[in-house]
């Protein structure tokens, strides 16, 4: 149905472009290098005949294919992000393409003892006989979310070459800075022009997600008192020990490594410190809004307790909500999830409706007036050097995008 070699070559080209975002940057996008890929995507869209493609001042790429029918069909959008996570080098120049995978260990980087082992990643055994694209163990692969980009681009190319496919308006968007939580800070929903959209940013084949975490972060500064240790009895206040005490007061069973499915967590993202001053950065996550609010209240109570114990203003904190569970916005338009399910079944893909243990651009877009579930792109082990994508899953994701366009002919505005 689609040009598989074109899909593969696009993906390999995209992952070779460094688009890593930077959480410490105050600019938008956080790194100018993201615009290199964005500019290339504009060129490729125009080469397909999508003449209205453009990149704006913030690095957003937007384009649309006009409806080819007078039927009142809702405009559908497809969105992916160009940036890769800051966790590791994102410029993948030496991907491995392993055809007809036989179920044995895959060597990523022998010198660094990096392997993809079914004993550690048992889902690999689901892909015996398939084509695995992985890293050489020195970088991220970048399937998150360049697989999604390649799939959208290939699907749009197919639609442009097959005008017999009846469709409404199709909107295309590529965003920067998703990995650092800023992907839609300047996204203009009205200009994008879609009634409903889908992010193509999921993992394994079949994933269809319209629930995600409610998310917040808290940044905590702890002021100690440093004195010569030989003369510090009853005077020294070691901020590092207060930081350890604070962490110990949080429920240890609510850490990411002990949670799954709908269970929320506190994650200590970063900590630095000396006797005199320490800093802690936590993220707080829960699918349930009530439990989410309770988690925030609890960590604030811990901070207040330690202030009472060690003195007022020993601890100062900034607590900020980041995004909310899109389910609250999707339930009223659940037919867009049903359309995606039908599109998957038409591609011989079993829908796996699961909650996202994270967030997507779609979560925030849903609260900005653009309901936006998430569909699979085919990757695994995101944000690390063990990342890989199953090429056959990419092919199916591309087919699903095309099928969603076809399904929308049956929807009414």
Q: Which residues on adjacent β-strands are paired with residue 116?
A: 106
Segment (H or E) for 318: strand 315-323
Q: What torsion, rounded to 10 degrees, do the Cα atoms 34, 39, 45, 46 define?
A: 170
| Dihedral-angle region of residue 340 (phi above 0 means left; psi in -120 to 50 means alpha; beta otherwise) | alpha
Separation between Cα atoms, residue 362 and residue 345, nearest integer Å: 23
Q: Where are the domains of the chain?
A: 4-211+325-410, 214-323
Separation between Cα atoms, residue 76 and residue 170, nearest integer Å: 5
Q: CATH number of the domain at 4-211+325-410, please? A: 3.40.630.10
Kindly list the catalytic residues: 83, 178
**Which pLDDT does position 211 carry in this prediction?**
93
Q: Indicate the pTM of the whole model.
A: 0.88
Residue 308 DSSP SS3: helix
Q: What does each of the 413 residues of the chain score in pLDDT, given as a tens digit?
A: 789 999 999 999 999 999 999 988 999 999 999 999 999 999 999 999 999 999 999 999 999 999 999 999 999 999 999 999 998 888 988 999 999 999 999 999 988 889 999 999 999 999 999 999 999 999 999 999 999 999 999 999 999 999 999 999 999 999 999 998 889 999 999 999 999 999 999 999 999 999 999 999 999 999 999 999 999 999 999 999 999 999 999 999 999 999 999 999 999 999 999 999 999 999 999 999 999 999 999 999 999 999 999 999 999 999 999 899 999 999 999 999 999 999 999 999 999 998 888 777 898 999 999 999 999 999 999 988 999 999 999 999 999 999 999 999 988 76
Angle, vertex CA 412, rays to CA 325 and CA 395, nearest 5: 65
What is the sign of the dihedral through the CA atoms of 74, 80, 81 and 87?
Answer: positive
Segment (H or E) for 118: none
Separation between Cα atoms, residue 354 and residue 348, nearest integer Å: 18
Q: What torsion, rounded to 10 degrees, do the Cα atoms 201, 285, 255, 141 define?
A: 20
Q: Which two tokens stand for residue 125?
A: 């055994």
Q: What torsion, rounded to 10 degrees, do the Cα atoms 230, 233, 236, 237 define?
A: 140
**Which pLDDT does position 409 carry in this prediction?**
94
Give, in words, the CATH class of 214-323: alpha beta
**Which pLDDT does position 81 carry in this prediction?**
96
């Amino acid at each position: 149905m689609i040009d598989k070699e074109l899909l593969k070559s696009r993906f390999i080209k995209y992952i070779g472009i460094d688009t890593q975002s930077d959480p410490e940057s105050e600019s938008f996008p956080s790194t100018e290098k993201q615009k290199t890929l964005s500019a290339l995507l504009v060129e490729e869209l125009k080469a397909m005949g999508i003449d209205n493609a453009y990149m704006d001042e913030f690095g957003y790429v937007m384009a649309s294919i006009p409806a080819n029918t007078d039927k009142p069909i809702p405009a559908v959008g497809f969105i992916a992000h160009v940036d890769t996570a800051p966790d590791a080098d994102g410029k993948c120049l030496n991907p491995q393409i392993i055809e007809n995978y036989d179920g044995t260990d895959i060597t990523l980087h022998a010198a660094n003892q990096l392997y993809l082992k079914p004993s550690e990643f048992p889902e690999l055994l689901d892909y015996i006989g398939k084509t695995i694209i992985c890293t050489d163990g020195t970088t991220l692969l970048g399937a998150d979310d360049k697989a999604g980009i390649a799939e959208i681009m290939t699907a749009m190319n197919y639609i442009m070459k097959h005008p017999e496919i009846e469709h409404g308006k199709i909107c295309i968007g590529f965003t920067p800075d998703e990995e650092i939580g800023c992907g839609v800070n300047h996204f203009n929903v009205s200009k994008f022009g879609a009634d409903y959209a889908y992010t193509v940013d999921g993992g394994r084949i079949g994933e269809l997600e319209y629930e995600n975490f409610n998310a917040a972060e808290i940044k905590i500064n702890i002021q100690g008192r440093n004195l010569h240790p030989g003369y510090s009895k009853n005077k020294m206040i070691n901020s590092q020990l207060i930081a350890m005490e604070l962490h110990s007061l949080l429920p240890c069973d609510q850490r990411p490594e002990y949670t799954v499915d709908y269970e929320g967590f506190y994650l200590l993202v970063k900590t630095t410190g000396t006797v005199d001053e320490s800093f802690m950065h936590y993220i707080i996550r829960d699918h349930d809004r009530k439990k989410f609010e309770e988690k925030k209240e609890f960590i604030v109570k811990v901070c207040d307790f330690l202030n009472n114990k060690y003195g007022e203003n020993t601890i100062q904190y900034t607590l900020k909500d980041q995004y909310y569970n899109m389910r609250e916005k999707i339930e009223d338009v659940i037919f867009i999830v049903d359309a995606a399910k039908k599109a998957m079944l038409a591609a011989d893909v079993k829908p796996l409706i699961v909650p996202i243990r994270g967030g997507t651009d779609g979560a925030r877009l849903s609260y900005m007036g653009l309901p936006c579930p998430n569909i699979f792109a085919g990757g695994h082990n995101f944000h690390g050097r063990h990342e890989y994508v199953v090429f056959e899953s990419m092919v199916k994701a591309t087919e699903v995008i095309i099928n969603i366009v076809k399904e929308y002919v049956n929807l009414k505005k």
